[in-house]
């Protein structure tokens, strides 16, 4: 496989010469969304337009040593490739952005490698509390859930919050009651259990005592003292998430994010993943963004929204805006974002040692990566 330059590829790069031109256009366009979501002409059969698409996804950011066992590394790369290829197939077939986001996030939620759904990390009480959000760039509608305990695929419930309620976010018991009404697929807590996550919890509890003695944390060493080979070289216990950002062939943007949260979290802690504007944002006037990293910092800086706002109000390109926020606003090691702009530009920007990610577009490029370099994959 051929390596190509890291971080981004683009269908259209560069800033706009009219930084406020999309604002008025968006207001009028959003009025017509419900009647004409695909830009179809009244009285005519819908046709799939010959338009560009782009998709980016992530499987979390964190301390990912290059000394990771090649077998484990390849498992992650194969899972990223599976997810991105699903997204490409759906987009080529004319699927809408929201449907692609939900479908791709779901297969990542079902994969125990990632800290979402089946692979969720454990709370201090050895239980599982999952968060997710999704947003439609056409009209800024959004839905989210936090602290769900029995929902197999939180991203689907988040979408139902958006489409089947007048609210944006349901949390805890309220989210579970909403799931009852929606009749989504439910599972016992045992479904989410993996031995790897249990080991991470035990390690986190031990570190609570060590930190009191001012010992060096694993994130500073990049080397984890554990018998589990995978956990030894990779820790997403604080920063693991999955997310997808999509531009479909109709010119619409959408994004979604799902997570199991932070290992050893207590007292109903909620991070950025279910927070619109922090973990997820989409606006057809600018971009779609999904974040992964230290949730509290992404909330404080409204990372996903701030990237969109910089684009819309200054005319900056997606990558210019993303780099400003990730490298200038966040602290080194906080994490990263994946994003797609309304022109098809893709950004994969992070300030942590690694970020599991993949991206593709209608020009035939498909890329996956863990560290700075990326791997180009043949169609």
Alpha carbons within 13 angstroms on the beta-carbon side of residue 123 total 16
Alpha helices (runs of H) in the chain, residue ranges in sequence order: 21-31, 70-92, 97-109, 154-164, 172-182, 195-212, 218-221, 229-233, 295-300, 303-314, 318-323
User: Catalytic annotation on 241?
Assistant: yes
- Concatenated DSSP letters of 9-36: --SS-S--SSTTHHHHHHHHHHHTTTT-
Q: Which helix (H) or strand (E) element contains residue 375? A: strand 374-376
Of the residues 7, 123, 150, 241, which is catalytic?
A: 241
| DSSP 3-state of 327 | helix
Q: Kindly provide the b/e burial profile for residues 307-325, where b requires at least 16 CB atoms within 10 angstroms of the residue's own CB.
A: bbbbbbeebbbbbbbbbbb
Under 8 Å between Cβ of 278 and 272: yes
Active-site residues: which are they?
241
């Amino acid at each position: 496989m051929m390596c190509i330059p890291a971080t981004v590829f683009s269908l259209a790069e560069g800033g706009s010469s009219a930084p406020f031109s999309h604002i008025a256009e968006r207001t009028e366009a959003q009025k017509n969304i419900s009647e004409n979501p695909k830009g179809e002409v009244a009285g005519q059969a819908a046709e799939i337009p010959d338009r560009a698409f782009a998709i980016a996804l992530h499987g979390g950011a964190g301390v990912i040593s290059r000394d990771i066992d090649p077998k484990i590394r390849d498992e992650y790369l194969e899972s990223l490739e599976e997810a991105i290829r699903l997204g490409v197939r759906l987009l080529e077939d004319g699927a809408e952005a929201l449907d692609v986001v939900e479908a791709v996030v779901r297969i990542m939620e079902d994969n125990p490698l990632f800290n979402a759904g089946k692979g969720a990390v454990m709370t201090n009480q050895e239980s599982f509390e999952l968060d997710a959000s999704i947003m439609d760039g056409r009209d800024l509608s959004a839905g989210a859930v936090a602290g769900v305990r029995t929902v197999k695929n939180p991203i689907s419930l988040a979408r139902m919050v958006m489409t089947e309620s007048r609210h944006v976010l349901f949390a805890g018991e309220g989210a579970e009651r909403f799931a009852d009404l929606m009749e989504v697929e439910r599972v016992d807590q045992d479904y989410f259990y993996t031995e790897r996550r249990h080991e991470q919890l035990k390690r986190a509890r031990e570190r609570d005592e060590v930190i009191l003695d001012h010992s060096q944390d694993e994130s500073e060493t990049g080397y984890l003292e554990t018998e589990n080979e995978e956990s030894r070289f990779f820790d997403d216990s604080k920063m693991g998430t999955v997310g997808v950002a999509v531009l479909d062939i109709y010119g619409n943007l959408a994004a979604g994010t799902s997570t199991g949260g932070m290992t050893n979290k207590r007292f109903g802690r909620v991070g950025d993943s279910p927070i619109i504007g922090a973990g997820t944002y989409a606006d057809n006037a600018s971009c779609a963004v999904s974040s992964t990293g230290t949730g509290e910092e992404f909330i404080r800086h409204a990372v996903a929204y701030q990237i969109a706002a910089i684009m819309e109000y200054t005319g900056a390109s997606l990558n210019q805006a993303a780099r400003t926020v990730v490298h200038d606003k966040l602290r080194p090691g906080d994490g990263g974002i994946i994003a797609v702009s309304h022109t098809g530009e893709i950004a994969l920007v992070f300030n942590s040692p690694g970020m599991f990610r993949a991206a593709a577009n209608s020009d035939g490029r498909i890329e996956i990566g863990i560290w700075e370099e990326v791997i180009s994959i043949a169609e």
